[in-house]
Every structure is written in C-alpha cells, then in structure tokens.
Amino acid sequence: MIPLAVAVAGPSYGSLTAVGSTRSSRRSFTFNNSFYHHGRERTDFHLGFGKKPHTSRWQGFAGINVKPRAKVSEGEVSSSSSVSNVEYPEDTGVIVIGAGLAGLAAAKHLAREGVPFTLLEASDGVGGRVRTDEFEGFLLDRGFQIHITAYPEALRILDYGKLDLRDFYAGALVWFDGGFHRVADPLRHFTDGLQSLTNPIGSVFDKVLVGIVRIQAAVKAVDDILATEETTIEERLSKNGFSESMVDRFFRPFFGGIFFDRELQTTSRLFEFVFKCLALGSNTLPAKGIGAIPQQLASSLPPQSLFLSSRVAGLVEQGRVISGVKLENGRQIRAKYAVIIAVEGPEAARLLKDRLPPTLSVTKPPRSTVCLYFSSDKAPFTRDPILLLNGSKTGIVNNMFFPTNVVPSYGPVGKTLISVSLIGTHDEKSDADLEAIVRDELSEWFGRSFVESWKHLRNYRIPFAQPNQTPPTELLKKPKVTDGLFVTPNCCDSRFQFSADGIIWNCNCMDQDTQATRRFRDEEKKNVHES
C-alpha cells in the first residue's frame, strides 16, 4: 500500500502514516483561497476554490497521458495563477522544497512556531504520491492507499472528523485453491474469526499465534520497537513460529501489499509497528479520497506561503552555506535560516549532487507498484468493505478491493469501482498487456461474465512508491547535510518512513534539528530588546 497504509505509493495499506508521540488532538482548519500560486505558465490548468464548479486538465502522471475534465471538490486547495502574475518573495525564513506529506508536515510545524517559510512544489498539486484524481465520476487514488487511524502523529495533526473516514472490514478474503477464504479479527468479528479457524489459510495454531503477536505489538512502545534486533519480516515470522503456509497464503500478500515487497525482506521493525497500528486502529479511506489528507494539511498553511508549478533548478550557495534556491523559471529566493529538501530519493539526489552523504545514499532500488482501475455496472460478489489477497503464489495480482464498497462516494450511484494492485513496475509489459493479464487472472476469481463487464479506467505506474527498507536500516538519523541544508526522511532509503505517519513524525523531529525555530526566536528576542 502506499500505505498512509499505505501509505502510494506508502500503511495506508500500501503506505502507512505513523511513528512517535501518542498524543492526540482534534483540530479544525479553515480554508483560504489565496494561500498558494502557480509559478509556471499553464493556460490549460484552471482551478478555483469554493462552491463554484471548476475544471482541471491533468497530463502525464506516472507514465500515462490523461486529460480528464475534473470538478474540484468544495474545500479543495486550488489556484489559477500563471507565472506572469506570481509574486515570489525575494527572501524568506525557511524554504521547503516539495509539498508532499513530508513538506506539508514541515511547513505546518514551521507555521505553528511562527517561522516564516516558502513551500515550493514542482507539480500542479499538493500531496506528492498521496493524491486523488476524479475521472468519469470516480475517485481514483494514485495507487492503493489506506489510512490507519492509530497512526500517532496523524492523530495529532489531522482532523479525522472533517476527513469523514470510512472503515474497512477488519480482515481479508484470501484467494487460494480455487476459492475465497475469510481471515477475520476475532476481537472485532468474533463469529467470523471462529469460523476461519479451520480454513486452509494457515493452521489453528497460526491463527492463535496471530492473536498473541498482536497483543504483544499493541502493548509495546514505539521506542522499544525501534530498538529491537533488526531482521527481515520473513525471518521474524519464522522465528515467531508461523507455518510456511500461513506466511505464503496470508502474510506474503498482506505485508507484501503494504511494503510492495512480496519477498518480505523489509525490516522486521516495520512489521511490528504495523501490527501495533492495526491492533489499535482501523483501516480507513477518507470520503473524498486519500488526497483529502494532504489537502487538509495544505489548507491550514498561511496565505501566500505555497507555490505550485515551481520546480527548483538548484541550490544557491554562499561560501559553504546554502543560502537559497534558483527556480527553473529563473527566479531566486533567499533563505535566512534553512533550506529543507522534502522530495523523493531521485529528485533529492539531483538537488544535493555531491553533497549527498553516504548515510543518505539512494543506492537501494525503490519499491514500486502498478495500480489498475476498472468500473462495472454490475455489483460485486460481496458488499463487504474488505481487502482481497492473492494467496495462491501464482499470477501478478497481489491484492485488490472494491473502493465503492468502502466509500460509496468513490463512484457514481449504481457503479462499482475496482482497484487492482501489482508489485513492481512491470516495465516489460504495456498497459494493454497488463490489463489483459489482470482480466484473465481475475476471471478465475470472479467468473468471466463479471470481469467482461469491467471498463478499464486508468493505470498508475509508480516507480518510487516507497524507499527500500531492507535491513540494516539507519533510523532517525540527524537530517542535517551541511550548513543551512536539511533533508526530510522520505528522501533516502536510510529513514524510517515507509508510512505517511513516519514521514510526518520524522519531519517534526527534523524541523527541530534545523534550529530554524530557535534562530527565529532568538532574532525576535533580539529585535524586541533593541527596540
């Protein structure tokens, strides 16, 4: 998952969002229609804000060319400025590069501390990999992503009430040996849990052991999880005593879908952390799509602080100190306190160049995924808001679900939305080939009649869905690269940041390390004293 499992392309199931403080607070946010600008000429991109309907033209995401006319939801962050009337600041306190979850979290922390900042985003919207497109009346998340409500930092920084989160069923349907077998959380679905004890997805002992491991994870502190001996998920499951059948039929597709790693070579610390979050919270989707999460973060930022379509060409250095950035449109912005790089690994490497220290290497290949969307006029075989896993060890489909079962507003009334997830980029196959293979595989699952009713909507190929976090990993390292320059945890493979919550938590820790807040406060005190 792009787990806010996972969170895209990070779980969300697929990508997660979590680590750190367990403090929780509910905050309300006000929307402002003037808080960001577009900094590159784009006459085909016209978005407004508020109740009036608007349209958008999207192009070329993740290797696809799509040009839908999409209505912007009320309350969605948007802009209609062009480069000709954008007024970038000549100088600011802190420059944050990238308006994904990492950059938004860093910006929100700076805003809360009163530090002036400018947030620069190369694309036409916020969220990075955590975005939602509207297409033919359907909400299409960019890759399979779910949000786990127990993410500690997400509880602190997000307003769950306004996100209108909808729950998944606490369990899964596993395809194995020609049929579906239900695996259920007995604490939330007692009868289903009892009935699943004797199915072929592991032994009775395996299912009892799941409960024991779950309790152990639930009571274990996050700091203790991070301090445990590190191995792979596969090795940890074996040491815990799970049978090969349980690993292959359930854990491999389940955690393989969370970390985009069906071989389960990801660090065991993440396995324990996810188990903890799953035990304490629910898998959910926001009613307006996973993109509502970064939209909510962005909407709370100060006016004139966020600039879209503003790609950074390079860093500006004075002496040995990073003093600002130069944009591709030729503009330069000076940073008084710091520059924070909050982009994915390849883009961070481009900006850092020879400044990239060994501990921030991007040498491990990233985790990748492909998500295919279909629609149908027919209802699915189940109305449960449940995840479907491929436990057969054959085929390219890893997991799938029906988003409209979870959130009816993901599609028009009477329509079914189908989301199918693969692990890897499958670059050797065309979109048409992938569609044909997926249809053929899932015809065995659901019958050819149902699958033939599907209309293909879109493919998302996400080559950098998550960083590679095979052990050994270097967790929570100091983010300082050089004087005036810092990186967020999503930039490199050495950070604990498979999840959105990990990104947010690490960014809050990172912002304290930049000392920008301290320098700003010291300067304010000095000014007050001199006056």
Residue indicated by tokens 């493979």: 493
The pLDDT assigned to 130 comes to: 94
What's the domain count of the chain?
1
Residue indicated by tokens 């009334």: 413
Q: Residue 255: inside a domain, yes or no?
A: yes
The pLDDT assigned to 454 comes to: 99
The pLDDT assigned to 158 comes to: 93
Cβ neighbours around 361 below 10 Å, total: 14
Side chain identity, residue 365: P
Range of the domain at 229: 187-285
Q: Residue 353: inside a domain, yes or no?
A: no
Query: 447 by DSSP, 3-state: which?
Result: coil
The pLDDT assigned to 320 comes to: 85
Is the backbone peptide bond immediately before 472 cis, with ω within 30 degrees of 0? Answer: yes
Q: Residue 217: inside a domain, yes or no?
A: yes
CA dihedral 328, 40, 101, 71 (to 10 degrees): -160
Q: Residue 252: inside a domain, yes or no?
A: yes
Q: Residue 59: inside a domain, yes or no?
A: no
Cβ neighbours around 200 below 10 Å, total: 13
Q: State the 10-residue block means of pLDDT for the chain, 531 residues long.
A: 37 34 30 36 27 30 28 36 67 96 91 94 95 98 94 88 98 98 94 95 96 93 89 97 98 96 95 92 97 96 96 94 95 95 88 73 82 98 98 97 99 98 97 98 98 98 90 67 77 43 46 52 58 55
Instruction: List residues bridging with 495 in a β-sheet.
Output: none
Q: Residue 271: inside a domain, yes or no?
A: yes
The pLDDT assigned to 487 comes to: 82
Residue indicated by tokens 């849990």: 193
**HSE of 281, CA atoms in CB hemisphere, 13 A:** 29
CA distance 335 to 149: 36
Query: Which residues have C-beta within 8 Å of that of residue 298, sequence separation ≥ 6?
Result: 35, 36, 77, 99, 104, 126, 306
Q: Residue 147: inside a domain, yes or no?
A: no
Largest Cα–Cα separation, the chain: 79
Q: Residue 267: inside a domain, yes or no?
A: yes
